[in-house]
Amino acid sequence: MPLAAVAFAGQTMDNLGTTLTAEAADALGYPGYKDKAGDPLTAKLQFEKPAPEPTPENTTKNPTPPADDTQKVLSGRLTWGVKESFRTYVLSAGSITPASGAAKNGDTFDFAFGKGDLDVKKQKLNASFQGNLRFQYAAHGIDMTFGDPRVEATGKTGTLYVDVKNASGAKTGLRFATLDLSKTDYKTRNGVLALNAVPAAFTAEGAAAFANATTGSMYKAGDPMDPLTFAVAVDKDATLPSAGGTTGGSNGGAAGGTGGTTGGTGGTVGGGSSTGGSAVGGNLADTGAEIPAGALLTTSGVVIAAGAGAVYLARRRRTSQV
């Protein structure tokens, strides 16, 4: 509602003259106020200052987030045999059965690829594989399965995790072995990172997987096991190197290419696998005949029944290790 007419004069807004309107007269309850002079008006206006232009001094600096260099692994393969001397021992009168993605390759086994990620800059690799190996030696009470190996590597060290099933039950993702990656640079070539004969050693948990209630395990933390040879590809058009069955036993050695023999002077044992007679890390005479007849037997009755055979086996294989 308009109350007064304001007379502006000059550039200032101090003591401006006002004239009351009819609406103001009605509001004040006296019609005679219409067109009468009202009190002078003084106005003071304050305008908002415009925001300053962005400059390096007044601009908040938001750091650029680091680039994610993680690459998805698209394919891969692991070649591994757990432990050569243990394979030889089981195959002397038992069997090793690959399944669910594992397949025999010479004296060792290939495991199919599952999934994984690779960061070359940070030197990090996480790759899981599929398949399992069932070791059975009924006469000595052995029935254990190792499967779905997974490699976690950072820099010069890594860990092998394995699902284990034995007489004491089943364990998923058991920390099975440590890996020596001191010679690995993590650089891909033609889209492939290939690691050949990576040295591996039992962890305490991995060694304990071979234990029984009578005498424990014949292995201990730090004992060498079969090296791992594996390759992963981050390029969909990459070709994985051919997998071979050549292994240098528990100390590593040559792996890859084609072939299926190991060194030593042994012959063909069980299931068509060629194995060597000599294995790194000691022999049956060193570890004692009690290992197959005690550490690997689960009942006293079987110990008695197999004791003589174990001693005979020890004498014939003075250069073989369990």
pLDDT tens per residue across span 274-297: 333 333 333 322 333 333 433 333
pLDDT of 80:
97
185-209 per-residue burial string, b: 16 or more CB within 10 A, e: under 16: ebebeebbbbbbbbbbbbbebbbbb
Instruction: Give the 3-state secondary structure of residue 128.
Output: strand
Reported as a single tens digit per residue, the pLDDT across 291-317 is 343 333 333 333 333 333 333 333 334
Alpha-carbon gap, residue 300 to 312, rounded angstroms? 19
Token pair 């650089």 in the structure block, residue: 187
Residue 222: left if φ>0, alpha if ψ -120 to 50, beta else—which one? left
Average pLDDT, the chain: 75
Positions in the chain whose pLDDT score sits under 50: 245-321
The Cα diameter of the chain in Å comes to 137
Residues with Cβ within 8 Å of 250's Cβ and at least 6 positions away in sequence, in order, are 83, 84, 85, 223, 224, 225, 226, 227, 279, 280, 281
- The DSSP line for 75-86 is EEEEEE-S-HHH
Handedness of CA 296, 299, 300, 306 (dihedral sign): negative
Enumerate the β-bridge partners of residue 96. 135
CA dihedral 105, 108, 228, 93 (to 10 degrees): 160
Q: What DSSP assignment string belongs to 217-286?
A: -S--TT-EEEEEEEEEESSTT--PPPP---B-GGG-----SS---BSSS--EETTTEE--S--TT--HHH
Q: Which pair of structure tokens corresponds to residue 219?
A: 């292995």
Q: What is the pLDDT of residues 119-168, one digit of tens each?
A: 999 999 999 999 999 999 999 889 999 999 999 999 999 999 999 999 98
pLDDT at 201: 98
